[in-house]
Structure 1
């Protein structure tokens, strides 16, 4: 696991989520061609779970940047979905995770 970009924010739950995201990104970046779609799918699942939790936290904040951050989460998921839909061999998925 290469957590070179991980910077704890001091919230154990969010820090754990961020570590999982970083790990999923590292797995995708280092995956073999035949495993990339699965790694992309797994990253999307980890990101969606994290964003759902973080979006709930952000919705309770009065900070004006909260909506922008939530919107960015939606854009990231949209981009991941677009890549997945355009994947030439998307029927080949060998994930041990549940969708």
Structure 2
């Protein structure tokens, strides 16, 4: 699961690439810079499946969850939990899971 910290780091890296002169880069050099910015070390340009494009999609498309999952506490009480990671998300002020970052979509 990609954390908010990782998202911010990748966004910072992508902004640094944008600040460089893009006219002087070949397509291959740009792909290598993008792969490095998202943390895909050892990236091979011809291997996209599960690589650069999926990584960018995962950074953009955050997982979603609802408050419908139930977690039984040690005192026998049921509390809403994240359907992605199982973390207790009973606090109604949260709009995302504090553990995995999944957006809480209220139905």
Q: Which has the higher strand share?
A: 2
More helix by share: 1
**Length-normalised TM-score, structure 2:** 0.34
Larger Rg: 2
User: What is the TM-score of this pair, normalised by structure 1?
Assistant: 0.36
Q: Which has the higher contact order (CA 8 A, sep 6+)?
A: 1
